[in-house]
């Protein structure tokens, strides 16, 4: 994942129907431009009445074996399965086809979709 | 021989048989095993490590094999059934017959996204969402509420014109036909349709919505159309690529099928119109 590739991807996304590619996350700040190298900061806030937290995964309580991610997001204490794309954007199991610019935008999008429902831990079945 | 038809052309009897076969697979548990398999892959396929079902060259042959397996399961219930495809460049509003109560049912109600008509409404026929990422056990949709428009024919044509199948780094950052069709880059075709439907289709457990199969049957048809336009363009990569399924590598979860064996769909099905 070279910087050239990343810039090309970002250029394509912003040049053509960028809103469809990066979604509402584009308004959330510079995470896309910062690229894959920079770890996003931690956050902890109440959004639409629910506590959303994000930060470096500390290895307790999560189920990271399935994706090896180094960052974790929680909604009311339950882990949201997330993944970072090569261009630095993020997706979750709730919004899997709609990359967001930051983990905070991803957490907020998940809360929007959940409409108050609780997350259910969903570890991949053994194959 | 299985003939896949445009969903808009199905007769009332064909719709009824398709819906009944879906409900039968749901009742006997086989349907949910397909949802689980898809979600397993979508959670484990990563840009920087092993990737098979998504964000990789094998996105197309993997889903072709997945749909063939699902179609065979439907045919074990009713041998007359074939997977229809949804041309979302043409049938592009919630008023399309696809979403009528005699077929897939319509969008979800505003309050909670719950689909309330058709055979897959939670109230009827036992379409309970068992493989799920949150506590809700009813099918949800929000057709078009994201504000997105479905892809146009011109956008599809711009992607079909791309001469190279896929390119390094063979993931969501790639140039080439596969990634533009998948939608991580450029005008965004496949991914955007998932988002447009909303509800379960926007999640990793997207096969919970039966429209998943009609969407992917059309994505699969677009692969065939691309092959027709570029008859000398091969599947890539050919060999020796780390974390990626090369032409003659076997694909999980089956372990006995390669992309090379998925290139010619006519071994399994044909279309109602020339692809």
Q: How much is the average pLDDT of B8-16? A: 98
- Of A86, A96, A127, nearest to B171 by CB-CB distance is A86
Q: How much is the average pLDDT of B189-202? A: 97
Given a cut of 90, is residue A65 above it in pLDDT? no
pLDDT in tens, B66-90: 999 999 999 999 999 999 999 999 9
Q: How much is the average pLDDT of B165-182? A: 98
- Of A17, A86, A113, nearest to B169 by CB-CB distance is A86
Contact residues, chain B, for A117 at CB < 8 Å: 134-136
Binding-face residues of A in 30-59 toward B, CB within 8 A: none
Higher pLDDT, B245 or A1: B245
Q: What is the ipTM of this complex?
A: 0.93
Given a cut of 50, is residue A4 above it in pLDDT? no
Interface probe for A, chosen from B194, B204, B250 (most Cβ of A below 10 Å), is: B204
Residue A104 in contact with partner chain B when CB distance is under 8 A? no
DSSP A65: G
Q: How confident is the model at residue B123 (pLDDT cuts 50, 70, 90)?
A: low
- CB atoms B185 and A118 under 8 Å: no
Interface probe for A, chosen from B37, B133, B148, B167 (most Cβ of A below 10 Å), is: B133
Given a cut of 90, is residue B44 above it in pLDDT? yes
Q: What local confidence, expressed as pLDDT, does residue A12 receive?
A: 36
Closest CA to B194 of B263, B203, B137, B105: B203
Q: How confident is the model at residue B219 (pLDDT cuts 50, 70, 90)?
A: very high
Q: What local confidence, expressed as pLDDT, does residue B70 receive?
A: 98
Q: How much is the average pLDDT of A86-95? A: 96
Q: How confident is the model at residue B124 (pLDDT cuts 50, 70, 90)?
A: low
Q: How much is the average pLDDT of B178-184? A: 98
Q: What local confidence, expressed as pLDDT, does residue A89 receive?
A: 96
B58: Cβ contacts below 8 Å, ≥ 6 apart: B51, B52, B244, B245, B251, B259
Across chain B, mean pLDDT equals 96
Q: What local confidence, expressed as pLDDT, does residue B273 receive?
A: 85
Q: What local confidence, expressed as pLDDT, does residue A14 receive?
A: 35
Give the 3-state DSSP-derived string for chain B, with helices as H, strands as E and coil as C: CEEECEHHHCCHHHHHHHHHHHHHHHHCCHHHHHHHHHHHHHHHCCCCCCCCCCCCCCHHHHHHHHHHHHHHHHHHHCCCCCCCECCCCCCCCCCCHHHCCCCCCCCECCCCCEECCCCCCCCCCCCCCCCCCECCCCCECCCCCCCCCCCCHHHHHHHHCCCCCCCCCCCCCCCCHHHHHHCCCCCCCHHHHHHHHCHHHHCCCHHHCCHHHHHHHHHHHHHHHHHHHCCCCCCCCCCCCCCCCCCCCCCCCCCCCCHHHHCCHHHCEEECCCC
* Total count of residues recorded for chain B: 275
State the smallest CA–CA distance between residue B110 and chain A in angstroms.
11
Given a cut of 80, is residue A21 above it in pLDDT? no
- CB atoms A9 and B185 under 8 Å: yes
Given a cut of 70, is residue A124 above it in pLDDT? no
**C-beta separation of A83 from B46 below 8 A:** yes
CA distance B225 to A70: 40
């Amino acid at each position: 994942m070279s910087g050239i590739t990343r810039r090309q991807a970002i250029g394509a996304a912003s040049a053509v129907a960028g809103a469809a590619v990066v979604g509402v996350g584009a308004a959330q700040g510079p995470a896309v431009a910062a690229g894959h190298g920079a770890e996003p900061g931690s956050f902890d806030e109440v959004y639409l009445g629910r506590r959303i937290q994000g930060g470096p995964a500390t290895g307790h309580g999560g189920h990271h074996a399935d994706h090896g991610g180094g960052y974790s997001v929680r909604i009311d204490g339950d882990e949201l399965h997330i993944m970072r794309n090569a261009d630095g954007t993020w997706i979750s199991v709730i919004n899997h086809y709609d990359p967001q610019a930051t983990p905070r935008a991803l957490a907020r999008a998940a809360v929007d979709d959940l409409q108050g429902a609780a997350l259910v831990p969903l570890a991949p079945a053994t194959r | 021989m299985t003939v896949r038809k445009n969903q808009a052309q199905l007769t009332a009897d064909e719709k009824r048989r398709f819906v009944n076969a879906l409900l039968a697979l749901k009742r006997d548990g086989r349907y949910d095993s397909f949802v689980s398999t898809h979600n397993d892959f979508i959670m484990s396929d990563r840009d920087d490590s092993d990737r098979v079902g998504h964000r990789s060259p094998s996105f197309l042959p993997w889903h072709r094999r997945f749909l063939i397996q699902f179609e065979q399961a439907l045919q074990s219930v009713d041998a007359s059934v074939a997977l229809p495809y949804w041309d979302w460049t043409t049938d592009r509003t919630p008023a399309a017959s696809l979403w009528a109560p005699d077929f897939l049912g319509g969008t979800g109600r505003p309050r909670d996204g719950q689909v309330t008509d058709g055979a897959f409404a939670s109230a009827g026929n036992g379409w309970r969402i068992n493989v799920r990422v949150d506590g809700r056990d009813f099918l949800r949709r929000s057709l078009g509420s994201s504000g997105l428009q479905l892809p146009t024919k011109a956008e599809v044509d711009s992607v079909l014109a791309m001469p190279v199948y896929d390119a390094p780094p063979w993931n969501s950052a790639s140039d080439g036909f596969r990634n533009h069709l998948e939608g991580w880059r450029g005008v965004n075709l496949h991914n955007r349709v998932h988002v447009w439907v909303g509800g379960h289709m926007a999640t990793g457990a997207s096969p919970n919505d039966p429209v998943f199969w009609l969407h992917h049957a059309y994505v699969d048809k677009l692969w065939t159309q691309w092959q027709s336009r570029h008859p000398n363009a091969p599947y890539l990569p050919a060999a020796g690529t780390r974390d990626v399924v090369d032409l003659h590598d076997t694909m999980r979860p089956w372990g006995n099928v390669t992309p090379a064996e998925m290139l010619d769909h006519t071994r399994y099905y044909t279309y109602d119109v020339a692809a």
